[in-house]
Amino acid sequence: MGSGTGRVTKRKGSNKRSRRKRTLSRALDQIHEDISGKGQFSKNGTTDLPVDFDLPGLGQFYCVECARYFITDGVLAAHKKTKKHKFRLKELKDKPYCQAEAEAAAGMAPPDNGSTSAR
């Protein structure tokens, strides 16, 4: 009696995508602003960063191109030799995507009001 299959447990899925989403870094256009000096960080201003106890290495070792903090200067130097860092440098060589470029791709041209002498 009672030769049923029993209770079936739900198969657990992967949470890799949700973990990746949680740790998203800054967008490429924001990093371009940082490098050009308009943004939060400038490329040569990373030596005098304010001390922040919540960040790794007290917020003193920052890679501007990758928008990441590191524990020590040695770890930052090792990071700059990695493939991820070099790929990010290659991505940053292109000019940043702008709103005018997005509108041109969608087929939206700037308004043509004609010349003022024709009115």
Q: What are phi and psi of 98, to 5 degrees?
A: -125, 170
pLDDT tens, residue by residue, 50-102:
899 999 999 999 999 998 999 999 999 999 999 999 999 999 999 888 888 88
Asked whether residue 109 is assigned to any structural domain, the reply reads no
* 73 occurs within a structural domain: yes
1 within a domain of the structure (yes/no): no
pLDDT of residue 39: 63
Identify whether the C-beta of residue 70 lies closer than 8 Å to the C-beta of residue 78.
no
What are the tens digits of pLDDT across the range 10-60?
878 887 777 776 667 788 888 988 888 776 665 555 557 889 999 999 999
- Domain holding 34: CATH number? 3.30.160
Name 68's bridge partners.
63
Domain hosting 58: range is 25-95
Residue 16 lies in a domain: no
The residue whose two tokens read 């990373």 is 46
Maximal CA-CA distance, the chain: 97
Instruction: Tell me if 8 is assigned to some domain.
Output: no
In a domain, 7, yes or no: no
Number of domains in the chain: 1
